[in-house]
Structure 1
Amino acid sequence: MTEQPQTHKPTGNEHQAEEQARVLRFPSERLNHDQTQAKAEAEAGAETQVIDGELVDDDRDQAAQVDQAQTEAGSSLIRREKREPVLPGWASSVEEFRETAKWAVSYAGHTLAFHAVRCPVYLARILIRVPQGTLRLLRGFLRWVTDAEGRPVRHAAADRADAAEYLRLSGQRDSRVRGRVYTTVGLGAAALAAFFLGREFLPEIVQYAIVAGALGTVGWLGAPADQPIASRAVEATKVPKLTSNAVEIALAALGISGINQAMGKGGEGIGFPKPISRDGKGWRADVDLPHGVTPGDIMDRREKLASGLRRPLGCVWPEADNGEHAGRLILWVGDQDMRKAKQPAWALRKGVRVDLFQPQPFGTDQRGRWVDLRLMFTSVAIGAIPRMGKTFALRELLLIAALDPRAELHTYDLKGTGDLDPLEKVTHAHGVGDDDEEIEKAISDLRKLRDELRRRAKLIRDLAKQGLAPENKVTPELAGKKSLGLHPIVIGVDECQVWFEHPDHGEEFEAICTDLVKRGPALGIIIMLATQRPDAKSLPTGISANVSTRFCLKVQGQTENDMVLGTSKYKQGVRATTFAWADKGIGYLVGEGSDAQIVRTVAGLDGPASEKVAAYARTLREQAGTLTGHAIGEAPEVDESVSKKDTLLEDILAVVGETEKKVWNERVIARLYELRPEVYGTYRESADLTAALKRHGIRTAQVWGTTDDNKGASRIGITHADIAQEVAERNRREGSG
């Protein structure tokens, strides 16, 4: 019997629906479809009737796959992984290993000395407690021999009137006591034999040692649990261990919506890609924050985070992990407040000779590790609000430079309090205060430094052609040759805003300092500028945008933060606004090509300590024969053009008559040169006169005039009335004063 296949005949509605439908196959179903379709129909033995059809382009039907299979080039056995260091941090760092070994030796020595002094007290305690210890020993021995530990079980059987169980336990007890009595007799006989043999053959010192050991053991047994024989040599300060639960509680307390949603029911939670572990003198936790939350959000709430962790503010330091994604947070919680922790000894405190071409220790990070800074080929900007340690940081850098006898120092304390006076004994040029005489000395010195910059640029170019300066910059070998004069020059200015805001020479100060910042590092000239008001006026944009080393202590806002540390640093999570008022000497350091890191400057480097370091530096310079200028009592040469009264306006009125309402700058410059060539010989372009008049509050503009050919033209010029009015007002002010 052959079973005929039944073919379903569609109804009218179904027929119409099938005519309007398109059948799309999955990609896996379309594979080898043409080859398998005929075979399938033959096996089924069915006749297929095509009702309606449409050619479908496979490429158009196949939907693009968004998530592609991950394929990596190379062997499948090779995995991308981040390997942990073989040795711990304290063993891989020479400085940390030295500190750890020093601590271990100190700890052992202290413990030994502590107990050695108290040996008589310990001996008295032992002798007093020997009777009590003997009683405890005998009591415990008798309990063991009589099987006292099984007595409660036997009493329980007797109370239940369980005769069989009681007889079994009693027999077991008799057997156990019998064995223990035999053991006691044997041990007693052996002890007597050992006693007599010891008295006969052992040296007396060994006998006394055995007796002392026995008494000590019995005395130790007699000591109460809360009154040990030996006192504690060190009282350990227990620091709470940082746990994932503590971190989650602290983060949840910050009031960040993204974290609250992640920590809520059904949220993704907070990830910990690495176990929380010890890192230096504290705990480190690597945290993957929820999507949309950045480390900067956490750093803004550092005080709340410390409250959530129940730790002092100076112990909690959240920071971004720039080596990973933007949501990776590194939370380091120290055992002790950073500003109170004992800092390792500064290697340069005793006057070690340094090489500015090599990194030198500048400060310590949160973990107590030294952070090195290379001063050569760099320029420095330091910013902070008052009383945060800005001047101390600048003085430390200048002391480091002073310990290189080749370096020529130029120090200017524009605050006038004498914070940089310890460097007087080694500096080539020194200024204190902002009076007219000091300003004249400073601008004269900077003009000479600008000329020196140009001389060095030309010399380096010539040396490069000879193959002596392969990178077109000063090298240690070139700096060591006195005949070339390419030794390092270090300029330190505290409260630099006084220069840049000066009414007469502010623009010249800014122009020279900007030139030194841009071109000086390659030519061996290092300029360090410190200010307590980091804004566009006190730290001009041309300077702040080009310094390569930045140190920012506490500031008030985002603008000041980015002015010192660089554009967009605040958005990147580098925020000196999070420092507390008590975090003096602690700031963000952005070094040469390195990521920002928190650094604490050398503690205890006050005035007297700086005097000692400067004295060492002077000794080194005396031996090298490099003391010059102010250090040996030479008076600075002041440019006469600075000390003389500025008579520009009066001179213009002398060469421009009242009938000339407006005159071009170029014609005024020509007339001024004829009047006083020794003063106005540097005025070569129209812009030179414009800049000079701007210092007096007078602006030039386009004015109409006629050329020598009687042709009209509009050029930059002055207005006679403006000059006359300014001279009259100045004379009136001087007369009233």
Structure 2
Amino acid sequence: MVEIGGKVVRFPTRHLGADDDPTLDLPEAEPLPPIEKKAKDDGLAVEVVDAELVEEAPNAPAVVDTPEVVDETGSWLEQRRAYLIDAPEVIPPYLRNKQDATDAARWVATYYAHIGAYHATRSPLYLLRLMSRSPRGMARAVGAYLRWASDAESRPLIHQAAGREMRMDLGEGLVEKVNGDAQRYLMLTMRHDRRVKARVLLTIFMVLPLLVTIGAVSVATVGVWWVLFGSSLAFGLVGGRGTNAKPIVTRHVSQHQLRPLDSAEIVDALAAIGIKGSVSFAHPIQTDGPGWRAEVDLPAGYLADKVLEDRAKLAAAMRRPLTTVWPEGDPDSHPGRLVLWVAKQDPAKAKRRLWPLLKHGQVDMFESFPFGFDPRGRVTELNLMYSNMLIGGVPGSGKTSAVMAIALAAALDPRAELWVYEMKGSGDLDPVRECCHRYVSGDDDEHCEQALDALKGLEKEMKRRKKVVAELPLEQVPNGRKVYPHLSTDSRLGLHPLVAIFDEAHTLFEHEEYGDQAADIAGRLIRKARAYGVILLFTTQRPDAKSLPRAISDNVSTRFALAVVGQQANDMILGTSMYKNGVRATMFDPRKEAGTGWLSKSAHDNQITRAAFITQEEAVEVGRRARALRVAAGTLSGQAAGEEIEATDTTTILDHLAAVWVDGAAAMHLHRLVEALATYRPNDYGAWVEEEDAAARSTLLTNALKPHGVSTRQLTIRECCGGAKGVRWEDIEKVRARAE
């Protein structure tokens, strides 16, 4: 024992135990004072053996978990309501969804049809294998029958009863049997002899005659070769039995064998991408359509957005194809809730899902229509009424598939008027040409000029519709002045849906001569036209400030972002801060996931969608059906009806007055101007000169100038005809300059 400077004192005790070491020479401790026994109020006596007074740490946190809060778990009704929020579904998904049930039934039928055809083509090989094993089968059958006839199964028992013979010389030449049972041996041998005799007789008088009879009848009925063939097959089946026998039927071993999703795989994969800590599962892993669904609560401090960002790393950690791993957040729960869906089969190698409207069906643009499919294979619907749409992605990302689905859907609504400007010039949208009021395909200057003219025409149509809607009685516009379905059916109002598609719109917006004006008009249309039934759709492969005007990217309401290469392009299409919020189109591989992107209907309604792929041949058939619907409804118009589309006249009455104004005249009388306008543009002003009274003609022109802010007044022009109502050139010029 090393003494450092202290003093070792024996711990006070009242009883010296047997384990105490008497060899230690320690000073005796002072005896403890006697402990008083004090009875509590409940009558129980407590003896304090040892105690220590501990001062509370000065920095100890205050207790904040009050019993009232800890014990508050809600009433019985509140607990049941909370249960129903996350309660499991009563009916399985494949029974609730008709499409899922149909797909499952179709798949089962296809699977067994394939298996049947696969083995049917190999049946000759299977027959040869069976026949090659018939000699062994015959040997097995004959051997088994002989063993039965000779009662071979009783021989071990007879040998056991006979025991072991031992010859011992006892002086008299006697032989003794050791470990034998003579009585049991005699009984077994007698039974064995009777069985063998009976079975031999049965074979001679019944089995052999029966076999001969069956053989003779079979030969006489079907022929000797069929008898030999059937016998060889039967013996082949017998010869193919056994654990070491090779299978007769060819088996296909799939390299893509399904590996079920389990919790250990998810936890390990999350740890591999840097999510450390305790991971819990909100619900058991379950089958969800053609895949598995797991709802995971990430460790404290981690957001589901991180997993979305590292989707490729997660798939690598799970050792699964990228196209089978689809993580997403659950905003209805909390930001740390991850919903992981893993496909059973690689969608890139699965059979293409057909667009629901491919063979039959009609569309109402005021309702939702099928656009594509989510990763689970469920139909994704789109409603573009009172909305506009922007589609963007790198070349080859699948923009044409998305535009084709929307264009065909609009064509299948006989009321909808379709304007299509395909600015790539490839003719990909030609299947809807025969349904379009206007259709242009090309990227030259003339095509850009026609696209600009279309925007001018759309703005003019918007103003006309705005005026019509403004004059409607309140009972026809109960929820605001906009276009309603019942208004679109009245052909006199001309408020039917108008869908204008500008594919590869950057070609127009980047044009040196027409780009700026097109951007200005498109910005005004995006803000206002949707309320009047005008739906605009723009696509671009270069989402930047020059090729995509800010007025469009900031005000469009429905967005579809396919594969992009950076944050700026992502937010130009989906909206500001969407990349930061975890909605990132950079996660898609255009080579493997063409047509797949983020479909954003609002800042909080985003889902991954794959646009329905429609081949050109299929699109042509749908286009023919759509034209037939329009012919039956009598709604063919424009180019589809064989009409020539003239350039949109965007001039105003001020421009017309400037065209007929006498050079150098400071003012002119209105009745003279009406006569000049009727001569210049008889289709527009010819009816005005039918008024006999000059004052009435002047009133018509005055009313036409009021919306433009040009005032008329009583003027005396000595060179003309004295005093009459007129207008000054100075007033017209000021308004025209302000408009320009």
CA distance in 2, matches of 1:347, 1:291: 43
Q: Deviations over 1:6-43 (max 9, x none)?
A: xxxxxxxxxxxxxxxxxxxxxxxxxxxxxxxxx96999
Residue of structure 2 in register with 1:562 after alignment: 571
User: In the superposition, relative to structure 1, how do residues 319 and 63 fare at CA in structure 2: closer, same or farther (>3 Å)?
Assistant: closer
Residue of structure 1 in register with 2:22 after alignment: none
Out of 257, 268, 279, the position equivalent to 1:238 is 257
User: In the superposition, relative to structure 1, how do residues 88 and 142 fare at CA in structure 2: closer, same or farther (>3 Å)?
Assistant: farther
Residue of structure 2 in register with 1:400 after alignment: 409
- Residue 478 in structure 1 maps to residue 487 in structure 2: yes
- Residue 131 in structure 1 maps to residue 140 in structure 2: no
Contact 1:554 / 1:579 at 8 angstroms: preserved in 2? Answer: yes
Farther off after superposition, 459-468 or 483-492: 459-468
Farther off after superposition, 133-142 or 337-346: 133-142
Instruction: Specify the code of the residue in structure 2 equivalent to 1:521.
Output: R
User: In the superposition, relative to structure 1, how do residues 281 and 382 fare at CA in structure 2: closer, same or farther (>3 Å)?
Assistant: same
User: In the superposition, relative to structure 1, how do residues 150 and 581 fare at CA in structure 2: closer, same or farther (>3 Å)?
Assistant: farther
1:246 is displaced (CA, Å) by 2.3
CA distance in 1, matches of 2:604, 2:196: 75
CA distance in 2, matches of 1:164, 1:453: 121
- Alignment identity in percent? 37
- Residue pairs, 1:48-87, within 5 angstroms: 65=66, 68-75=70-77, 78=80, 80-81=82-83, 82-87=86-91
Residue of structure 2 in register with 1:301 after alignment: 310
Residue of structure 2 in register with 1:414 after alignment: 423
User: In the superposition, relative to structure 1, how do residues 186 and 592 fare at CA in structure 2: closer, same or farther (>3 Å)?
Assistant: farther
Instruction: Specify the code of the residue in structure 1 equivalent to 2:351.
Output: K
Out of 244, 252, 256, the position equivalent to 2:271 is 252
1:534 is displaced (CA, Å) by 2.0
Q: Deviations over 1:146-188 (max 9, x none)?
A: 559989x989x99xxxx999769x9799979969996996899
- Residue pairs, 1:688-699, within 5 angstroms: 688=739
CA distance in 1, matches of 2:197, 2:389: 84
User: In the superposition, relative to structure 1, how do residues 567 and 143 fare at CA in structure 2: closer, same or farther (>3 Å)?
Assistant: farther
Residue of structure 2 in register with 1:732 after alignment: none
- Residue 600 in structure 1 maps to residue 600 in structure 2: no
Farther off after superposition, 180-189 or 126-135: 180-189
Q: Secondary structure at the match of 2:82?
A: coil
CA distance in 2, matches of 1:154, 1:117: 55
Contact 1:277 / 1:285 at 8 angstroms: preserved in 2? Answer: yes
- Residue 531 in structure 1 maps to residue 550 in structure 2: no
Contact 2:324 / 2:344 at 8 angstroms: preserved in 1? Answer: yes
Residue of structure 2 in register with 1:93 after alignment: 97
Instruction: Specify the code of the residue in structure 2 equivalent to 1:89.
Output: P
Contact 2:396 / 2:590 at 8 angstroms: preserved in 1? Answer: no
Contact 1:423 / 1:611 at 8 angstroms: preserved in 2? Answer: yes
User: In the superposition, relative to structure 1, how do residues 487 and 165 fare at CA in structure 2: closer, same or farther (>3 Å)?
Assistant: farther
Contact 1:391 / 1:530 at 8 angstroms: preserved in 2? Answer: no
Larger radius of gyration: 2
- Residue pairs, 1:31-42, within 5 angstroms: none
Instruction: Specify the code of the residue in structure 1 equivalent to 2:536.
Output: I
- Residue 290 in structure 1 maps to residue 307 in structure 2: no
Contact 1:412 / 1:420 at 8 angstroms: preserved in 2? Answer: no
Q: Deviations over 1:36-81 (max 9, x none)?
A: xxx969999xxxxxxxxxxxxxxxx997738532331344873633
CA distance in 2, matches of 1:165, 1:554: 92
Residue of structure 1 in register with 2:452 after alignment: 443
1:342 is displaced (CA, Å) by 1.4
User: In the superposition, relative to structure 1, how do residues 173 and 418 fare at CA in structure 2: closer, same or farther (>3 Å)?
Assistant: farther
1:140 is displaced (CA, Å) by 6.3
1:406 is displaced (CA, Å) by 1.2
Q: Secondary structure at the match of 2:347?
A: coil
Farther off after superposition, 113-122 or 474-483: 113-122
Out of 228, 235, 238, the position equivalent to 1:221 is 238
Instruction: Specify the code of the residue in structure 2 equivalent to 1:316.
Output: V
1:384 is displaced (CA, Å) by 1.0
Instruction: Specify the code of the residue in structure 2 equivalent to 1:65.
Output: T
User: In the superposition, relative to structure 1, how do residues 42 and 272 fare at CA in structure 2: closer, same or farther (>3 Å)?
Assistant: closer
Residue of structure 2 in register with 1:615 after alignment: 624
Q: Secondary structure at the match of 2:391?
A: strand
Q: Secondary structure at the match of 1:466?
A: helix
CA distance in 2, matches of 1:318, 1:184: 78
Q: Deviations over 1:421-477 (max 9, x none)?
A: 443322212334455443443333323322322332343344451346556433333
CA distance in 2, matches of 1:271, 1:443: 57
- Residue 342 in structure 1 maps to residue 361 in structure 2: no
Q: Secondary structure at the match of 1:87?
A: coil
1:120 is displaced (CA, Å) by 5.3
Q: Secondary structure at the match of 1:490?
A: strand
Contact 1:450 / 1:512 at 8 angstroms: preserved in 2? Answer: yes
Residue of structure 2 in register with 1:384 after alignment: 393
Contact 2:522 / 2:552 at 8 angstroms: preserved in 1? Answer: yes
Instruction: Specify the code of the residue in structure 2 equivalent to 1:229.
Output: I
RMSD: 4.9
- Residue 589 in structure 1 maps to residue 599 in structure 2: yes
What is the TM-score normalised by the length of structure 1? 0.68
CA distance in 2, matches of 1:74, 1:617: 57
Q: Deviations over 1:535-564 (max 9, x none)?
A: 344334443333232110011222322222
User: In the superposition, relative to structure 1, how do residues 511 and 211 fare at CA in structure 2: closer, same or farther (>3 Å)?
Assistant: same
Residue of structure 2 in register with 1:489 after alignment: 498
User: In the superposition, relative to structure 1, how do residues 136 and 602 fare at CA in structure 2: closer, same or farther (>3 Å)?
Assistant: same
Out of 465, 490, 493, the position equivalent to 1:456 is 465
Instruction: Specify the code of the residue in structure 2 equivalent to 1:312.
Output: P
Contact 1:409 / 1:491 at 8 angstroms: preserved in 2? Answer: yes
Q: Secondary structure at the match of 1:80?
A: helix
Contact 2:404 / 2:614 at 8 angstroms: preserved in 1? Answer: no
CA distance in 1, matches of 2:583, 2:304: 10
User: In the superposition, relative to structure 1, how do residues 43 and 289 fare at CA in structure 2: closer, same or farther (>3 Å)?
Assistant: closer
Instruction: Specify the code of the residue in structure 1 equivalent to 2:102.
Output: R
User: In the superposition, relative to structure 1, how do residues 678 and 341 fare at CA in structure 2: closer, same or farther (>3 Å)?
Assistant: farther
Identify unmatched segments of 5+ residues in structure 1: 1-38, 45-60, 263-267, 647-653, 656-668, 693-737
Out of 326, 330, 336, the position equivalent to 1:317 is 326
- Residue pairs, 1:647-686, within 5 angstroms: 682-684=736-738
What is the TM-score normalised by the length of structure 2? 0.67
1:138 is displaced (CA, Å) by 5.7
User: In the superposition, relative to structure 1, how do residues 147 and 86 fare at CA in structure 2: closer, same or farther (>3 Å)?
Assistant: farther
